Structure 1
């Protein structure tokens, strides 16, 4: 399990407040804020303190935003790290928020960070994955787990909301769905007895719809392109 050392700011927000800010932020046009993501510095994820034995940090990123009152001031929004499990082709995307009293800004930063890690994972699967032509997209997506705590946690609220916005859902929701209808296909590739059922995985139908609505993000486009390439390989086999 990875544990980021997040700088202390001041962020306490209810889910209702976050939803309100996300839906009504466009009214504040006079406050121009730039939001971006960049790769974290070497050593940000410490091998001894942050990783379990055998885990590998493949990519670590941070999201930042400018201060509307001082564009030279870069505010840290959140961090994410793509971690490869020991002797496995399974990856965890660990996400954590800083403490900042601007939930809409943090939400957008978390979207960028998650998209960056998901896009990197999919590109790795395409470029370096073995027998990619014999693997379904559901199987590939079932090996990418988003670890972003609870939506009620002040350290994970924005990241959790961002994951849901992109079509990720906790494993327990897939399990509950399988109890009431046919079992979701993605569960065929997950050992639900071993995994944390609060971990989030990609709901393919919902996620594709979500990403298709955001063609302004370069990483969102990269993710859609990667999914299409993998699905085209699937269709050749059918």
Structure 2
């Protein structure tokens, strides 16, 4: 419990230091794999930009749709109830004013077996555009909240990707990256559901491939930056 409280405190402290909007980031990808496929590869990195004054309402609404405190879109899409809830989350997001920003790299290079080069390029594209702002779409974002990966070496790579952008002066020094888990911040469900919906347009031809149409009007695409 102490670990959980500490993680929650870190997230809360990051919000206290932030004005304006916060971007929540998650990804979906298909990397080259000799045993599965060398074609149809892609990397999709999604950000959903949320105003601080909308956070409480959004968390509450997402919990009501999920009927619980846990959510993972990939698993939800495996059964009818989960697909209905996924649709419900996308419709709920589409009712608001939150901008969704996607960096989409295709194909992933054949030698990029773990898709880390593609991830870096997509993150760079997203972070640069989010930090700069887009008139009428989103204000410059100071805080990027990314779903942290399980392994420390991958978390360190994400941190380095961000530090490189600051050192290259491609984003302001006050643009911060916070890596945390959806169990400490439910709003990370938002980029998860949008990434999954867009992924289905690339990988499926069933009813789930049409889910992205619900949110398409709020989505803005940006170029990956090598």
TM-score, length-scaled by structure 2: 0.29
The higher relative CO (CA closer than 8 Å, separation ≥ 6) is in 2
Larger relative helix fraction:
2
For the pair shown, the structure with the greater C-alpha radius of gyration is 1
